[in-house]
Amino acid sequence: MAQSDMHQQRRGRNYALGAFLLALVVIFFVVTIVKMKGAG
Amino acid sequence: MTDIGLQRETAPFGAVAAGEPAAGDYIALLKPRVMSLVVFTALVGIVVAPGQIHPLIGAVALFFIALGAGASGALNMWWDADIDARMARTASRPVPQGRIAPREALGFGLALAVCAVACLGLLVNLAAAALLAFTIFFYAVIYTIWLKRRTPQNIVIGGAAGAFPPMIGWAAVTGDIGWGAIALFAVIFLWTPPHFWALSLVKAGEYARAGVPMLPVVAGPEETRRQILLYSWILVPATFAPLLAGVGGTAYLAAAGALGVVFLVLAHALHRTSTDRAAMRLFGFSILYLFLLFAVLLGEALVAQL
């Protein structure tokens, strides 16, 4: 596998992991707000 | 060390992946099609459960149930990579193809499992999280590692793993397990053997080559067809159990009756004709059958909440 291909696929994976972690942060934030309002 | 352990060490795909896996390979590890069925049945569990849940918390519960199902899929692909490589249906999966190293699939599955269970416990409730943890354990350890290669009853007992999602959804709302949840569990649990055995009748050669003791391989097609018929006659009456637990109404009663008749007709046709076509017809219809039963439950519950 060419170096550039490898970097491209690794970058794709890193973006996916970053998006997942960001989603977790958003989920925890929003659920906290909902629970603080007493709706959860 | 067991024979399985020896087989695994000499497996051709080795411990190191050939190249860099793409994000899509990790998605394939999650078994997206299985995940979609898990999400759907868990959604039905959430909607039909007595009580209220904030829609956002319900969506979050579904997300982490799906993640837990994905973790189970990754752990299954890690352990089963050697037999996946020997079956046409599964040979293109990322681990047997060498795109993801087995150890990486294991790490990915464990990380997702811990994340899904912890987040479900923190954000929804502990009962749902405990059930999700047990489901992942049941699928990965009891079914995949212990039963699948040892007994033709593998999918009978292992089918419980696929039957838990509506119960987890129910627990996400109520914090416990009610009779309705047990009835939904029973429907999927009893549906699994005729569903999988119909497919395994057609794929018996592949299972035999892979060394998986599916019922047609061990007991022969005739006994498998007899067992399919037997389980179908247990399944169809069991689909009325949710009604006794207060889940479902007239539409569900009609659907369970009409679809049940078709299921039994196809099971009898397979018992009589013993062709691949009859097996695939039952297999195809069994998917539609479960989907429609749960869709009607979902529809009725949503209409009742309007």
Checking if the pLDDT of B103 tops 50, the result is: yes
Chain A positions in Cβ-Cβ contact with residue B123 (cut-off 8 Å): 27-28, 31
Q: What is the pLDDT of residue B274?
A: 83
A14–chain B Cβ distance below 8 A for any pair? no
Mean pLDDT (chain B) is 92
CA distance B179 to chain A (A): 24
Chain A positions in Cβ-Cβ contact with residue B55 (cut-off 8 Å): none
Kindly indicate whether the domain formed by B23-176 is annotated with CATH number 2.60.40.10: no
**Is B57 close to A31, i.e. CB distance below 8 A?**
yes
**Band (A13; pLDDT cuts 50, 70, 90):** confident
Checking if the pLDDT of B20 tops 90, the result is: no
- Tokens standing for B287? 């998917």
Q: What is the pLDDT of residue B29?
A: 95
Q: What is the pLDDT of residue B10?
A: 37
Checking if the pLDDT of A40 tops 70, the result is: no
Select from A6, A27, A31 the Cβ nearest to the Cβ of B19: A6
Domain boundaries, chain B: 23-176, 178-306
Domains B23-176 and B178-306 in one fold: no
Interhelix angle for B32-48 vs B179-202, to 10°? 160
Q: What is the pLDDT of residue B297?
A: 98
Checking if the pLDDT of A1 tops 70, the result is: no
Torsion over CA: B103, B109, B113, B116 (sign): positive
HSE, side-chain direction, 13 A CA sphere, residue B210: 24
**Is B56 close to A15, i.e. CB distance below 8 A?**
no
**Is B22 close to A5, i.e. CB distance below 8 A?**
no
Residues 6+ apart with CB under 8 A from B290: B187, B188, B191, B195
- B94-100's contacts with Cβ under 8 Å and 24+ in sequence apart are B94/B21, B94/B25, B94/B26, B94/B28, B94/B29, B95/B13, B95/B29, B96/B13, B97/B13, B98/B13, B98/B14, B98/B17, B98/B18, B99/B17, B99/B18, B99/B19, B99/B21, B99/B22, B99/B25, B100/B17, B100/B21, B100/B25, B100/B26, B100/B29
**Is B22 close to A24, i.e. CB distance below 8 A?**
no
**Band (A16; pLDDT cuts 50, 70, 90):** confident
Q: What is the pLDDT of residue A4?
A: 80
Residue B215 in 3-state DSSP?
helix
**Residue B292 to residues B32, B89, B107, B130, B260: CA-CA distances in angstroms?**
20, 26, 36, 29, 11
Checking if the pLDDT of B17 tops 80, the result is: no
Query: B296 near B252, Cβ under 8 Å?
Result: yes
Q: Which A residues, 20 through 39, put their C-beta within 8 Å of a C-beta on chain B?
A: 24, 27-28, 30-31, 34, 39
B59–chain A Cβ distance below 8 A for any pair? no
ipTM field: 0.84
Residue B82 CB coordination number (10 Å): 20
Residue range B178-306 forms a domain whose CATH class is mainly alpha
Q: What is the pLDDT of residue A26?
A: 96
Torsion over CA: B32, B34, B37, B42 (sign): negative
Select from A1, A15, A40 the Cβ nearest to the Cβ of B19: A1
Tens digit of each residue's pLDDT (9 = 90 or more) over B219-263: 999 999 999 999 999 999 999 999 999 999 999 999 999 999 999
